[in-house]
Amino acid sequence: MIPTTKRLISPIQPGINKIRRSSGESEYVGCDPVSSDVFYREIERAITGEEIPKYPYRYPERLVIPQGSPEGVPFQFFVHVTPYAEKSMYHFHSAMFGDKKILDEPLGFPLDKPSNFNIADLPNAYLKEFKVYHKEESEISESA
| Neighbouring C-beta atoms of residue 48, cutoff 10 Å | 6
Please give the mean pLDDT across all residues of the chain.
77
Per-residue pLDDT at 53:
65
pLDDT digits (tens, 9 = 90+) for 115-127: 787 877 788 888 8
Based on the fold, state whether residues 86 and 127 are members of the same structural domain. Answer: yes
**pLDDT above 90 as % of the chain:** 6
User: Containing domain of residue 142, as a range?
Assistant: 65-144
Number of domains, the chain: 2
- Whether 17 and 42 map to the same domain: the answer is yes
Which H or E element spans position 39?
helix 36-47
Does one domain contain both 77 and 132?
Answer: yes
Same domain, 57 and 90: no
- The reported pTM is 0.52
Query: Which CATH number fits the domain that encloses residue 116?
Result: 2.60.40.1520
